[in-house]
């Protein structure tokens, strides 16, 4: 593996670890400080609440944990494949780190408790968490990278 490839993998792993650690730490604080359904106003429509869901990001598609666990494992394998295929693509490591960290954060919840802890409340949007935000930003970045690569 070349030095740039090693660097891309190391950066993706570091970002993944940071997202996972921050996600789990914030969830632990929220679980200890709030009771389910309690709402704490922060700024305008932004608030905190303690909610749990069995679905995917933003509480969508609730159901059995086993298919969602399998989906998370497949998603992790897929983003690893994308980085392995071409680690030199600019910002690919960022997208991989965000998606992997978010997927692992929610997977850890699902394996530990059978559901995901959500805490960010934003207007009428369903509660979500840092892992959901990381996954969403990572997927959006993947889309931008792939569109840019297609146009070349």
pLDDT at 102: 96
Q: How many structural domains compose the chain?
A: 1
Question: Looking at the annotation, which residues are catalytic?
Answer: 118, 132
Distance of alpha carbon 59 from alpha carbon 126, whole angstroms = 7
pTM above 0.85, yes or no: yes
pLDDT at 61: 54
Distance of alpha carbon 58 from alpha carbon 29, whole angstroms = 20
Distance of alpha carbon 70 from alpha carbon 76, whole angstroms = 10
Flag the least confident range among 21-30, 64-73, 123-132, 143-152: 64-73
pLDDT, tens digit, for every residue of 15-35?
999 999 999 999 999 999 999
* Residue numbers of the domain that contains 31: 3-151
Distance of alpha carbon 9 from alpha carbon 93, whole angstroms = 7
pLDDT at 87: 85
Element (H, E) at 70: helix 65-85
pLDDT, tens digit, for every residue of 45-98?
999 999 998 766 555 555 556 777 888 889 899 999 988 888 889 899 999 999
């Amino acid at each position: 593996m070349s030095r740039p490839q090693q660097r891309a993998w190391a950066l993706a792993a570091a970002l993944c670890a940071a997202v996972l650690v921050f996600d789990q730490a914030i969830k632990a604080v929220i679980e200890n400080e709030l009771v389910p359904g309690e709402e704490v106003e922060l700024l305008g429509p932004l608030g905190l609440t303690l909610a749990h869901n069995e679905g995917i990001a933003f509480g969508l598609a609730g159901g059995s944990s086993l298919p969602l666990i399998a989906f998370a494992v497949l998603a992790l394998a897929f983003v690893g494949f994308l980085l392995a295929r071409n680690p030199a693509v600019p910002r690919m490591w960022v997208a991989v780190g965000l998606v992997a960290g978010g997927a692992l954060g929610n997977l850890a919840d699902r394996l530990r408790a059978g559901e995901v802890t959500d805490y960010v409340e934003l207007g009428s949007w369903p509660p979500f968490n840092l892992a959901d935000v990381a996954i969403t930003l990572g997927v959006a970045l993947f889309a931008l990278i792939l569109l840019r690569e297609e146009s070349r």
